[in-house]
Each structure stands twice: as C-alpha cells, then as structure tokens.
Structure 1
Amino acid sequence: MRRVPDNARSRAAQAAVALMLAAACATEAPERPDDTPRPAETPDRGDPPAVLEEPVDVATDLEVPWGIDFLPDGSALVTERDSTRVVRVGPGGEVTEVGTVDAAVPRGEGGLLGLAVHPDFPDEPAVYVYATAADDNRILRMPYAEDTGLGDPEVVLDGIPKAVVHNGGRIAFGPDGLLYAATGDAAEPRTAQDTDSLAGKILRMTPEGRVPDGNPFDNLVYSYGHRNVQGLAWDGEGRMFATEFGADAYDEVNVIEPGGNYGWPEVEGIGGDDRFIEPVVVWTPAEASPSGAAIAGDALWVAALRGERLWRVPLTGDAEDPVGEPEALYVERYGRLRSVAAHPDGEELWVGTSDRDGRGSPAPGDDRILRVPAPG
C-alpha cells in the first residue's frame, strides 16, 4: 500500500512511486484479481488492534449483507445479496425481514446489492436498491413503512450492463440530494471509456432517475474510466471519495471530479498520463479489494474483501493532498469485509462481513454486522 501524495502527480514522482511499489511486491506471489476465488482457509481470530475498542456483534447469521443505510430511529435497512431479502436491524440487534426484491437474480457477484434511504425520509418514505436482474442491473424505488414493510418496486433506472462479475452496485445520496450509483465494466473493459455507456461509471441522477443540471455529458454519467467501483463517501467539504477494484496490480481510492476520466482500462493504479486523474491511495489486491466506504471521525473507512481488514484513511482537509497514511485494522480477524456505514450518531460504524459469498471461510455466526467505534 502507498498513499499517493500530491507531488507524485508529476510524471517523475509517479514513476518513483511505481518503482517503489514494484520493488515492494517483487518477491511476492502473483496476485489474483478480485474476481478470482480465494482458497478456503480457517479464519484468523488474532489480537484486536490497540487503537480501537473491541468490535461487538450487532446482528449475526445474515446472508452476504451488501448495502446498509440508516433510518431516523437508529435502525438500519440491510440488503442480502443472495437471498434477495431486505431486513431491518434494530439498534439492539433484532432482525426483521421487511420484504424481498423478486427482480434480483443472484449469480456470481450480482444479486441484491446497494441500498439507500431517501434523504428526506420519512417525509419521502422511499428506499432505493441496486439489483442485478435477468437482463441488466437496475435501480428500483420502493415505499417503506415500519408497519407494512416494503411496497411494490418501480424502476428508476434500467439498462446498466450486467455480468457474472464487475456489477458495481453501491448507491448513495450525496450532499446535493442527488442519487449516485457506482457501476462496473461488466467484464467489458472498453465500455469504461465510452461516456455513452452506463458501464464502468459513477452515475448522478435525480431521485426520479432523471438527468440533473450540471452533469458533464448531458446524460447520467458523472465520471468514467472505472473498472468496478463499490464504495462512495463524501467529506464535510463535499468532496467525493470512491473505492475501486483493480485487476492484477493495484486497487484505488479516488477523489471524484465531475467529468473526470480515471483511466481504466488504459491505466491501473498510477499511470503518469495527464489524460487521467490519479488515485490518492493505491493498494495491492492482497491488501484490499476495497468495497464499502464511509466517512466518520475525520477519516475514510474502507472495508476490504480479499484483504480481510478495515482500512482507516486519515483525511487532511487539504484539497491538494487530501489523505494521510492509511492504517490497517482487524487484519484477518473477521474475514471478508463488504460494507461499512457511519451511524447517524457519529460515534460508530456498522461493518458487514461477506464470508458466505462463496469466496470466504465462514465462522459460526457469519455473516454478521459489527459495531466498531469511530474515533476522531
């Protein structure tokens, strides 16, 4: 792992950082991409890190929890990728099924993926999900009430390319009240550079799925050149951070700019090409395969699948050099980590494991949601 400082954006410094990365990895075994199964192994339940208190279970015995978003009462709605259920997890850990999404067709990395609660809930009692359907990935909107659960879905956006792998799937409302969606290249890398395609992009839309004012290409595309984004988060200044799976070499954290080209498939990691925006953090896939992201306590928190750890990336507040040196927490203690959401009280994170996704080694009680303190 290397943080990419601002001065590394010159070609000379980029080359130096790339050489350091290559040297650090030269004696390691070849890395598997994020879409290659990991051999089964016994989860390591080592000592907890000293910097945070011990996590505690909020809920257990879930089936690949993928999307987490909170309701005003402090409970959360959670999607299960392979069961296609949406469950409500109360603050005390009680789990109640509130509905299923019949349009979702689980296969490989697809199924029932991201979830976002309307920012004006309960005045706008709507819940959004990103689902891999029979022919495409799509975003659905459903009414929700505690006493009746989820209502009938309506399609907000369809036609997002799907595949067994690289479906993206994270959705979130930004500070502007608009809905953002992360899509994958659906195993067709060339589509990521096509701004007329919905694949390999971060999309920006109104809550009704329309093109908002200010989108750079007069369509839903907000940024492009992405391989498989699965984490979206905003800091207090409105800067948008995204986590992205690389292929064989480097995973990324990017600061997203409207109209920005992030390089895939021409570049993976640090490219040294002025046509593309450089990442602010790069990791090898063995350290990360980064999925969910959240901002809490002046840090970006990133859930790592293959890396089996929670990354804490300090935020500097400096637009020119926005992150400090990342810190790895809970390494190989809870297996694959898929989701991370900041609780509205600002004092904790809810972190979802992904050990029952066909690539992990489930322990008793998996999959689970953990409550993790989020210190400043």
Structure 2
Amino acid sequence: MRRRFAFSGILILGLGALAAAPATEALSQVRPAAAPDLTSPQTVATGLAVPWGLGFLPDGSALVTERAGGRILRLSPGSAPAVAATVPGVVPAGEGGLLGLAVSPTYADDGYVYVYYTAASDNRIARLRLDAPQDQQVILSGLAKATIHDGGRLAFGPDGMLYAGVGDAGGTANAQNQQSRNGKILRMRPDGGVPDAGNPFPGSLVYSLGHRNVQGLAWDAQGRLYASEFGQNTWDEVNQIVPGGNYGWPTVEGRAGDPRFRDPIVVWSTAEASPSGATIDDTTLYVAALRGQRLWSVPLDGTGGAGAPVALLQGRYGRLRTVERAPDGSLWITTSNRDGRGTPAADDDRVIRFPAAAVPTPTGS
C-alpha cells in the first residue's frame, strides 16, 4: 500500500522546460511518479460556483466550499451535491470569498470543520460544526484582505497543527514584515493560539515569510512541508518550507541564489502554471494549475528537492483550482472556470474523481 500524506489541497502531455530542479546527486535517485488512473474520470458534481477548498470526512464523503456563494457542499460519487452548511459573514469580492477548508483530524470527536473566508473588513479563519454553522468560532481575524492575493489555503499538518497560506493582499511590503501576518505561512493550534513549540518566532503564528500568495500546502512522508505559490510576471514556484525560512518576495521572484533567501525547488513560467492546490502521494507532488490549465506531477527526491515536473490533463478541463487525495487513494480535482478568468463549459464548475491505479500483481517465482 502506498503511504499517503495529502493535505489543506497520468498521461504525459509535456515537460516544463523551465521547471528544472537543483542539480544534485539526489536527483539521480528520483523515483518515477506514481499515477492515478486518469483514463477513468468520474464527474462527482457540476454547476458549482467556483469550488475552492476540498476535504474528506471520516465516512469518505467530501466537503467542498464555493467561493462565491459561501456554501459548503457535501459530495459523494453517484449522489447529487447536498448543502451541508452556509457560512455566515462571507463577503465575496475579487479573489476573496469562502476559500480554504480543513476537516479536523479529530472530527469524530469534535465535529469541527475549519474555513478561511473573506468578511466585510478582513480575512479570517473560523471553525464550525456543520449542524450549527451560525455558532462558528472565529479563531483568527484581522488578516488584510484585497481583491487580489487573499491566500486562503488551510491544512492540518502531521503534527496536528493548523497551517494557513496568507497572501500579501497586494501590499508587497507585508511579506518581509515579520509583524504582519500577510505574505506568510502561519502555524497555529486548532484553537488559533500560538503552539508551545515549533514556531520560529516567540509568541508569533508566523512560520515562514517572504511569500506573495501561497495557494497549496502538502507534506511528504518525512513530514517536510511544500507550498505552491503564484509569482508575478515571470516565475511561479514550489518551495520546500522550513521554520523561519524567508522566500524572498518582493525582493526575489523565482531563483536568485541570494543567501538571504531560500530558492524554490521548482519554477514554472506564469503561462504554464499559476499553481494552486497541492497534494502528495508517496513521492509525487501534484499541483493544480489555473492559467496553465493542467495538473503538474512533480517527483520528489526524498531530501526536500524535486525532479522535472510532468504536465498532465493539459487543457482537458480548463482552469484547475484544487487537487486532493481521498482516503481511498483516488485523486480529486476541482475546476475554476467560472471565476471570471476562464471560459466555462455548460457543466462548470466541476469536481472530478480519478480512481487509484491498480497495482500490478508480481509474477514469476
């Protein structure tokens, strides 16, 4: 059985020539990307209003947020989507609205679902129970909002802490200001408090800084965190995140070789990517691409680096917002063609499921 670490968030159609990884000896040991069966798609839901966050409940059903409508829908293959909750206080505008979703790792005991959303004056993170969303508990507020760069991805790490990708809200100076929570990856207890250990700056939720607009969070089997991030005009990125790491924005876009900052392990041209949600299965990082209209498969080398990405599903479903591995090993993606930047098909936006590929049975003596 493949070990799965999917948080938050394949037919070979092309290589990203600009996405070369660092030239290290470890890359010669990169394992081939494990592939779900992309030849057998199953449409789980259609007609959605910009699906954004995606998570799975203990019974295997999925929850998905709608950015524009403030709804959380419950999805099961073969059944019509059902409204699980409507989140009070959501004020969608531009890239803001109801964004990331994370299911509590102790959901069976506490029933909590965590959401990141845009309110009238700020972006905030709240937890709620599906049967009483009006009683939500805001665990973090005061994150600057804007029509762009609102961030929004939520994911629980293997340490049980909640991580959030927070955009710079169009204020580039926020990213280098350690006192600002914008342009950061934040790490917090499930109640929103600062963890007792593991955060690099005493008394602060800031885990890493120098980010423009983190969109995907995922961990490998060794507990290393990877984040996908929108660049500006030239380079989109995947970074391997370390506590206290500074990833350079706005001084640096892409790789700079500047010792003050950590370089990304993967870069793409912005036309190839606009990398959004991310998930890891075994040694493969999957990244959903919006402008690039494809799914990227990135082989991880086991030491925090990466090999050459492979483009999958290129142009088949339009803009891809989120990719997640389900508990049964299937791969789920959401489209984002009704977000004002795409060309919607009649059934957009959609959630599509690809079953896990069959594992060959060994033969011979």
TM-score, L = length of structure 1? 0.85
3-state SS, counterpart of residue 173 of structure 2: helix
1:335-346 equivalences in 2 (<5 Å): 335-346=318-329
Q: Distance in 1 between matches of 2:83 and 2:38?
A: 32
Q: Distance in 2 between matches of 1:120 and 1:141?
A: 13
Per the alignment, residue 214 of structure 1 pairs with 198
Retained in 2: the 8 A contact 1:156–1:209? Answer: yes
1:161 aligned onto 2:144: yes
Q: Kindly indicate whether structure 1 or structure 2 has the higher relative contact order, using CA contacts under 8 Å at least 6 residues apart.
A: 2
Partner of residue 164 from structure 2, selected from 151, 174, 181: 181
1:128 aligned onto 2:111: no
Per-residue deviation, 1:122: 1.2
Q: Distance in 2 between matches of 1:113 and 1:192?
A: 20
Per-residue deviation, 1:121: 1.1
Instruction: Provide the alpha-carbon RMSD of the alignment.
Output: 1.7
Per-residue deviation, 1:374: 5.0
1:295 counterpart letter in structure 2: I
Per the alignment, residue 13 of structure 1 pairs with none
3-state SS, counterpart of residue 175 of structure 2: helix
1:367 aligned onto 2:349: yes
Query: Residues 200-220 of structure 1: CA distance to partner in whole angstroms, max 9, x if unpaired?
Result: 000000000000022111200
Per-residue deviation, 1:53: 1.7
Q: Distance in 2 between matches of 1:55 and 1:314?
A: 23
Per the alignment, residue 46 of structure 1 pairs with none
Per the alignment, residue 205 of structure 1 pairs with 188
Per-residue deviation, 1:50: 12
Q: Distance in 2 between matches of 1:285 and 1:141?
A: 34
Question: Which consecutive unaligned segments of at least 5 residues does structure 2 have?
Answer: 1-15, 25-34, 360-365
Equivalenced residue count is 330
Q: Distance in 2 between matches of 1:89 and 1:50?
A: 20
2:234 counterpart letter in structure 1: A
Retained in 1: the 8 A contact 2:37–2:354? Answer: no
1:192-271 equivalences in 2 (<5 Å): 192-212=175-195, 213-218=197-202, 219-271=204-256
Retained in 1: the 8 A contact 2:55–2:102? Answer: yes
Per-residue deviation, 1:56: 2.1
Kindly report structure 1 stretches of 4+ aligned residues shifted beyond 6 Å. Answer: none
Per the alignment, residue 53 of structure 1 pairs with 39
Percentage of matched positions with identical amino acids: 58
Per the alignment, residue 329 of structure 1 pairs with 312
1:267 counterpart letter in structure 2: V
Retained in 1: the 8 A contact 2:36–2:354? Answer: no
Residues 1:142 and 1:6: Cα distance change in structure 2 (over 3 Å): same
Partner of residue 82 from structure 1, selected from 68, 71, 88: 68
1:93-108 equivalences in 2 (<5 Å): 93-108=79-94
Q: Distance in 1 between matches of 2:209 and 2:99?
A: 21
TM-score, L = length of structure 2? 0.87
Per the alignment, residue 18 of structure 1 pairs with none
1:279 counterpart letter in structure 2: P
Per the alignment, residue 31 of structure 2 pairs with none
